[in-house]
Amino acid sequence: MEWDWSAVGDFMPRFWDGVLVTLQALVLGSLIAFALGLVWAMAQRSPLKVVRWPVMVVTEFVRNTPLLVQLFFLFYVLPEWGVTLSALTTGVIGLGLHYSTYTAEVYRAGIDGVPVGQWEACTALSMPRGRTWSAVILPQAIRRVVPALGNYVIAMLKDSPMIAVIGALEMLGQARQFTATTFQPTEPITVVGIAFILIAYPASLLMRALERRLVR
């Protein structure tokens, strides 16, 4: 088997379309996961059982079911209830929702790591609950969990090919489609593999730099 550069050239327009979809899914999915995960984590610490228990049930259910099943549910079942989303939108929401249940645990660990004295000091100063969270607790907690959150960004990148099953053709989806029409799997799959490394490694370096900056 010989390497065919012409196949690479033919694949590149599709590849760049796949890169755009991959980056959109990764960035938007990460934003949803980080924001919603923080909401889950804070809700789980609510003194109200009517808030705490439903959130715990939902997050456990999502965390313990496969991402692929969740994507199929969002894309094929929700339209039966009148909710129709595009493939990319569904993929973004699916990735964000799935990983929000993991980032919630990361946030929870960071919040639990804040010394008890910080809570007691806020109480002694009669600080409002919202001010306690925003000015004292969360800044300390988030600094502690940045490395773990960065790991989930990389994990989300590696799970992004799953959105191709609902029609959002990211890099690997484009490669598989190209292979099905040309019967040349080596070149597109190799290009996609290299692309994943080139995206994941700089992202890892960025998270390490951010971690060092937050520590200082």
Answer yes or no: is pLDDT of 82 > 70. Answer: yes
pLDDT digits (tens, 9 = 90+) for 197-213: 998 888 888 877 877 77
Report yes or no on 184 lying in a domain: yes
**Which CATH number covers residue 206?**
1.10.3720.10
| Parent domain of 89 | 11-215
Indicate the number of domains in the chain: 1
Does the CA dihedral 204-142-57-92 come out positive or negative? negative
What pLDDT sits at residue 204? 82
pLDDT digits (tens, 9 = 90+) for 19-70: 999 999 999 999 999 999 999 998 988 888 898 899 999 999 999 999 999 9
Q: Which is nearest to 33 in space by CA: 138, 120, 149, 111?
A: 149
What pLDDT sits at residue 137? 82
* 114, two tokens: 């804040």
Check residues 117 and 155 and name the one with the higher pLDDT.
Answer: 155
What pLDDT sits at residue 216? 61
pLDDT-derived band of residue 16, with 50, 70 and 90 as boundaries?
Answer: very high
What pLDDT sits at residue 74? 94
Looking at residue 65, the DSSP 8-state letter turns out to be S
Report yes or no on 6 lying in a domain: no
Answer yes or no: is pLDDT of 87 > 70. Answer: yes
AA letter at 5 = W
Buried/exposed code over 192-211 (b: 16+ C-beta within 10 A; e: otherwise): beebbeebbeebeeebeeee
How much is the pTM? Answer: 0.89
Report yes or no on 4 lying in a domain: no
Helix pair angle (5-44, 49-63), 10° resolution: 160
pLDDT digits (tens, 9 = 90+) for 158-198: 999 999 999 899 999 999 999 999 888 999 999 999 999 99
pLDDT digits (tens, 9 = 90+) for 103-123: 999 998 888 888 888 888 888
Phi, psi (degrees; rounded to nearest 5) at 66: -65, 145
CA 95 to chain centre: 5
Buried/exposed code over 112-143 (b: 16+ C-beta within 10 A; e: otherwise): eebeeeeeeebeeeeeeeeebbeebbbeebbe
Report yes or no on 1 lying in a domain: no
Q: Are 88 and 21 in contact (CB under 8 A)?
A: yes
